[in-house]
């Protein structure tokens, strides 16, 4: 068997309503002064109310940093670090989608009293040193899986993002409280849910680090999410569907944290960078076209996933035939979820495609994981097919 490593968050609590126990969990970590990091949308909805109530009943001080923006820019990260240091907080809670959780990871590391590093020092793989503050992650979207990934992503320029990867970003606790996701609007549920499904699909076909544990997580994550995404989008108050999506997204996160994503994400990132298309929707727009391109190298693996994603469909024939039918079904699913399906619908000019292809080629960290090598011409052809 090929050697592999599998790492994940230290403790995972999967329990509806668990956010109301946050103060107790922080107490276990010996915390006295906590910073909860979130975004204005979540603050306005009051999703963190039960969590804050739990602190009011305890002797732990809590302050809320609610300035996180989607695809967080460096300036927001700096602001949060400064406030955390000034207030001598001794534990960090990330409360929100991937954006809030990613900021929380970096603050937990760089606001540690012993930390001598700056944000710029930790970009890349395994460049972070030392210790971090206790870190608790509470996802409110069923998407990024950031609560179990060693990655934080920051927007560094007009159109560029940088990632920092370190096992220090795996939190002490990941808390999956599906009640927090009940009010997620349909379009956000759809986009973040497709993102999570892409994490599982790309982890399953990842070229270098694919391993038996990631495969297990990817398959179970896909089974759960494929079976509930329609209900979660169209009947958002269905608690069972919300629970399945949140757990499925976390499993997909565990899968790709240890068997990384590839060309779908590499081609999705430039769409987010240039046109501020939400991450999950960017993935949805290129997914089927990258899968068709990958057929020559991954048809057998796609064929294995087909009956898991669409258990009520009859699949027969060669791997290529089964995989092709899977891709067609995925296209129908994305449409049924109410997501746009072409780059044209996103008002992207066709003349922009070569620039996007050029940018996608810079995502070498992701492209090396793709089952089939991608050239500039290939990337351009995929964007053209997605147009
Ligand atoms: N660390 C990782 O492993 C990883 C992986 C993939 C993506 N990312 C990053 O994560 C970010 C995207 O995260 P995301 O897709 O979760 O979205 P997000 O955190 O950017 O949030 C999107 C919007 O959803 C709203 N929202 C969140 N939860 C809600 C709820 N329960 N009810 C109503 N509204 C709610 C927020 O207020 C916000 O307006 C990007 O910055 C991306 O680069 C990180
Ligand atoms: Fe993603």
Q: Tell how far the Cα of 98 is from the centroid of ligand 2, in angstroms.
A: 9
Name all contacts of 159-162 with Cβ < 8 Å and 24+ positions apart: 159/270, 159/273, 159/274, 159/359, 160/273, 161/71, 161/269, 161/272, 161/273, 162/123
146 lines ligand 1 (CB under 6 A): yes
User: Average pLDDT of 43-54?
Assistant: 96
User: Average pLDDT of 338-349?
Assistant: 97
Would you place residue 285 in the very low, low, confident or very high pLDDT band (cuts 50, 70, 90)? Answer: very high
219 lines ligand 1 (CB under 6 A): no
Q: Tell how far the Cα of 325 is from the centroid of ligand 1, in angstroms.
A: 31
Would you place residue 132 in the very low, low, confident or very high pLDDT band (cuts 50, 70, 90)? Answer: very high
Q: Tell how far the Cα of 296 is from the centroid of ligand 1, in angstroms.
A: 33
Name all contacts of 383-386 with Cβ < 8 Å and 24+ positions apart: 383/267, 383/286, 383/343, 383/353, 383/356, 383/357, 384/353, 385/289, 385/292, 386/285, 386/286, 386/289, 386/342, 386/343
| pLDDT for the residue numbered 158 | 77
Of all ligands present, the nearest one to the C-alpha of 102 is 1
Q: Tell how far the Cα of 143 is from the centroid of ligand 1, in angstroms.
A: 7
User: Average pLDDT of 123-150?
Assistant: 97
| pLDDT for the residue numbered 23 | 97
User: Average pLDDT of 309-330?
Assistant: 98
| pLDDT for the residue numbered 46 | 96
CA distance 194 to 148: 18
- Mutate which of 141, 160, 236 for ligand 1 pocket (most atoms within 8 A of beta carbon): 141
- Mutate which of 44, 70, 221 for ligand 1 pocket (most atoms within 8 A of beta carbon): 70
| pLDDT for the residue numbered 186 | 98
270 lines ligand 1 (CB under 6 A): no
Task: Name 362's Cβ contacts closer than 8 Å, sequence gap at least 6.
Answer: none
CA distance 311 to 168: 38
Task: Name 82's Cβ contacts closer than 8 Å, sequence gap at least 6.
Answer: none
Q: Tell how far the Cα of 377 is from the centroid of ligand 2, in angstroms.
A: 24
98 lines ligand 1 (CB under 6 A): yes
| pLDDT for the residue numbered 148 | 98
| pLDDT for the residue numbered 241 | 98
Task: Name 259's Cβ contacts closer than 8 Å, sequence gap at least 6.
Answer: 203, 204, 206, 209, 210, 211, 214, 215, 218, 369
Would you place residue 157 in the very low, low, confident or very high pLDDT band (cuts 50, 70, 90)? Answer: confident
> How many CB atoms lie under 10 A from the CB of residue 381?
16
99 lines ligand 1 (CB under 6 A): yes
202 lines ligand 1 (CB under 6 A): no
User: Average pLDDT of 257-284?
Assistant: 95
Nearest-CA residue for ligand 1 atom 17 is: 97
| Average pLDDT of the chain to the nearest whole number | 96
Nearest-CA residue for ligand 1 atom 18 is: 97
Nearest ligand 1 atom, CA 191: 15
144 lines ligand 1 (CB under 6 A): yes
Position 159 pLDDT exceeds 80: no
| pLDDT for the residue numbered 385 | 98
User: Average pLDDT of 343-366?
Assistant: 96
Would you place residue 162 in the very low, low, confident or very high pLDDT band (cuts 50, 70, 90)? Answer: confident
Of all ligands present, the nearest one to the C-alpha of 185 is 1
User: Average pLDDT of 263-267?
Assistant: 97
| pLDDT for the residue numbered 273 | 86
Nearest-CA residue for ligand 1 atom 19 is: 97
């Amino acid at each position: 068997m090929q050697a592999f490593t599998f790492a994940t968050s230290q403790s995972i609590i999967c329990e509806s309503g668990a956010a109301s126990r946050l103060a107790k969990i922080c107490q276990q970590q010996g915390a006295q002064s906590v910073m909860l990091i979130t975004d204005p949308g979540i603050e306005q909805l009051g999703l963190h109310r039960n969590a804050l109530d739990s602190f009011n009943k305890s002797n732990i001080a809590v302050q809320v940093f609610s300035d996180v923006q989607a695809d967080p820019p460096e300036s927001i990260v700096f602001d949060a670090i400064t406030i955390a240091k000034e207030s001598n907080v001794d534990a960090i809670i990330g409360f929100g989608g991937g954006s809030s959780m990613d900021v929380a990871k970096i603050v937990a590391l760089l606001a540690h009293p012993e930390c001598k590093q700056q944000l710029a020092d930790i970009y890349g793989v395994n460049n972070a040193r030392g210790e971090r503050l206790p870190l608790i992650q509470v996802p409110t979207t069923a998407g990024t899986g950031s609560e179990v990934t060693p990655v934080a992503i920051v927007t560094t320029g007009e159109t560029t993002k940088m990632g920092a990867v370190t096992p220090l970003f795996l939190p002490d606790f990941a808390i999956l409280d599906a009640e927090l996701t009940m009010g997620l609007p349909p379009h956000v549920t759809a986009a973040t849910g497709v993102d999570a499904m892409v994490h599982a699909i790309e982890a399953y076909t990842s070229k270098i680090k694919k391993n038996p544990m990631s495969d297990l997580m990817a398959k179970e994550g896909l089974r759960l999410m494929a079976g509930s995404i329609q209900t979660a989008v169209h009947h958002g108050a269905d608690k069972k569907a919300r629970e399945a999506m949140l757990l499925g997204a976390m499993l997909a996160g565990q899968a790709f944290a240890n068997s990384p994503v590839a060309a779908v994400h590499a081609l999705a990132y430039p769409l987010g960078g240039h046109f501020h298309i939400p991450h999950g929707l960017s993935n949805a727009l290129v997914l089927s076209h990258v899968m068709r391109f990958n057929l020559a190298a991954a048809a057998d693996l796609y064929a294995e996933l087909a009956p898991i994603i669409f258990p009520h469909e009859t699949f027969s024939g060669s791997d290529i035939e089964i995989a092709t039918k899977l891709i067609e079904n995925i296209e129908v699913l994305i449409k049924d979820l109410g997501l746009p399906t072409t780059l044209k619908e996103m008002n992207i000019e066709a003349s922009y495609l070569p620039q996007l292809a050029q940018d996608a080629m810079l995502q070498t960290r992701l492209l090396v994981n793709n089952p089939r090598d991608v050239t500039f011409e290939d990337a351009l052809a995929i964007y053209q097919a997605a147009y």
